[in-house]
Amino acid sequence: MSEHASPARTMGALPFVDIVDFVERTTYEIWNDRRPDLVKAYYPAGTVIRGDAGDLVGGEAVTEAT
């Protein structure tokens, strides 16, 4: 993970403070740390990702579109 401080609380079983923390940290890990393999871990099959070119459903679709 990045150099962020440990969260004071969590989002369920995930070690993130809130949704903003989740988006910022996972985006950093996936793109800046060059870890596209994490897309599938953070975005399971039913997750809808909205983008300029349309919606993608699930981490597999995001990985394929990258």
pLDDT digits (tens, 9 = 90+) for 11-61: 677 788 888 998 899 889 988 999 988 888 888 888 898 888 899 998 888
Classified as helix, coil or strand, 58 is coil
Residue 39 tokens, joined: 């897309």
For the whole prediction, is pTM greater than 0.95?
Answer: no
List 55's β-bridge partners, or say none: 50
- What is the spatial distance between Cα 48 and Cα 9, in angstroms, rounded to a whole number? 25
Query: Where is 20: in which H helix or E strand?
Result: helix 19-27
CA distance 34 to 30: 5
